Structure 1
Amino acid sequence: MENKMGSIDFRKDFPFFESSINKGLVYFDNAATSQRPACVNRAVEDFNNFNNANPLRGLYDLSVRATDLYENARAKVAAFLNAPSDSHIIFTRNATESLNLVAYTYGMAFVEEGDEVVISAMEHHSNILPWQMVCSAKKARLVWLECDASGIIPASEWQTKITAKTKIVSVAHVSNVFGITNPVKEIASYAHKVGNGGKGAVMIVDGAQSVPHMKVDVQDIGADFLAFSGHKALGPMGIGALYAREKFLEQMPPFLRGGEMIEYVTRESATYAELPHKFEAGTVNAGGAVGLAAALDYIEKVGFDFIEKNDNALAAFIMNGMKTIPHVHVIGNDDPDRHCGIVTFTIDDVHPHDIASMLSSENVAIRAGHHCAQPLMQKLGVGSTARASVYFYNTQKEAEVFLEKLSGVRKWMGLS
């Protein structure tokens, strides 16, 4: 398997892989953060070197240029997600901040005593803690959609647990542990019909793991809100985005207050800026937004057909290889096509932290721990797991090295 599109070798576009510092490193921690192509680094550097000014308010040419680049980046994100307009996109630091924004604004403003908020058992902590806070503050009830050991949420779960009392449903599009793609379109459709006394519950989608790996159309899946992080999608750290339906943004109070998000201030009150700037207080991360736009452009050049094909092929190769290694157990679905390039596993009698440490000594980088999904770990009966996660620039040769090193872990631990 060669990571090429025509005659283009993707890895040559990434300084990370070309550097002698990282020579021979197998980087299989892409679910935590992806590497960046040179064009992304260059876009950020060009902004900082040649276009650096505080955007949005300045009337001089440089500030206008910075504003145009920032707003062009917003337009890129809107088009990438098929949002109806640019005003549906709010720039944040990451998916965590986006989900907290929704919880602190929509959640605290509209959830009432006796309401229910529905999440799944496989959520990242960033999609659990904000809703625990809302439910505690508003005397609402947090309801969990359970999954089976393969990661599948049965339809009976949302058809029985989403009720007229449901005000909000918030579910990960792709699990960062199982890698499974949840049926968010079907869940959203049901929530919109049944929730909130028949007026429709609000559907929030955590797209942190899906947006980099598959075409996400927010209108098609019925998302009222969708959050994702740039750093998992070839972009810089410290930039993310929240998609939101305009009618909700108009109803919601601001998340933060101060510069840029106001229209007019008196000693007694203030009027807020038009959408989306109402939710972007203070000096924005314009360079990060420009870098994110360049990252999304690059993803489109690679194409989701190739990305999904490579994710699935590498997951299949890794999972099939693991079957030949005694004492290794894959967590989740048996079908590699349902892993989105994420293979989470355990080894009998070896702590996942030891697995990761020993592989690191062999120049293989994987993740180990609870993956910010402790309720799921508790459900699975494990304290932590190891996780290998791939992206389109990873190769079968790297997977072969990973499996070879993995096969020696128990021996290194003095186990048979």
Structure 2
Amino acid sequence: MAYIDYAAEVVFAGKSYEKFPLILDNNHNINRLILKYFLSQRVLWADSTIYTYTKHLYDFISQLEVENPECTFDHIDDDWLEAYAHEIARRNPKSTGGKYIAQILSSVLNFLVWCENNKYCNNLIGHNANFRIRIRPTKKGFTHNLIKYYEKQKSPPKIAPRDEWIEKLLSQDHFRSKDLEIRFNLMLEWGRSCGLRAHEICELTIDQIPSRETVEQNIIEKKNTFIELTVTKGKKKARIPVSGILLKQTLDYINSERNHLIKKFKKKARSERNAYIEPYQVFISCRTGKALHYRTFSNQLNARWQKAVENGNLTKYQHVWVHGLRHRFATDKLKEITHLKYVRDPRQVTKTLTRHSHASTLDIYTAGVYLEDMYD
């Protein structure tokens, strides 16, 4: 059975890669074809892209091993690809609609196109009827009928993570460092109480956070403080209300845990005679000293949720994910506003609060409200 392993560190053309992924067979032999593919693309791909492709191609190689130990492409054609897509769906019944299947198929087809172009296979994949797998050219490259089909498959409605699920997740001991725990909890609260997307949380800047005097005065007066979002979906600026308590906790983090990190990286840079430029974002990585990437936050939350499931504190159906925090915010607002008699159109008000362009986008949250009521 194939498996994924990681080289501690490899250096290609002077650039160092930590935990470079490798796919090995049951005899611990490296799949050299996939390694060559990764090496040819390493300049174009971000590190996270390599890890994603590794998982997808590992799935592909594992499927080939079931059918032939040599993992050859001789029997692969459009019919095989369709059967493979059905097998992915069978093995991942809880995947989000067809998006996950489309992503794997896209990764596999990109790999096969590279193999065809580099003469590692012949007449396997191309744009005309001479090839066993038929792809269609697009402005961005190519696509396949199966990819288009699964991309259109909508995700089934899901219940937004309930507050009790989130609290159980937060009660898990996950990070070794208290500083990481504080940062994680704070970022999660920005998603839950303000409805921010993952990249919006990670792009919050020091300048956007009001002064402590303003925040404390608003807490005394029981008023929200408004902040301007400059990095949003669609790049539209937005003004949102934020509770004084959350802003005070954020200021405490900036002045304590974040400040300690900045001092640490400045000291390290001086000792190595390098320049360290402090990032303007609020949340920074304790490993690199740079702004925390939104995928890192998403992966941390997912790992913590999986641990809670393994420990029996949550079930696999009590899903907590980063964008689910925004669903929790939107669902709560929709419920709250619906019960206000003086609001004529709750969906329009909720649309404004969640910064959606169209009220029809709220259908997923409306479905979530009904699902919650069914299970209550």
| TM-score, normalising length: structure 2 | 0.23
More helix by share: 2
| TM-score, normalising length: structure 1 | 0.21
More strand by share: 1
Which structure has the larger Rg over C-alpha atoms? Answer: 2
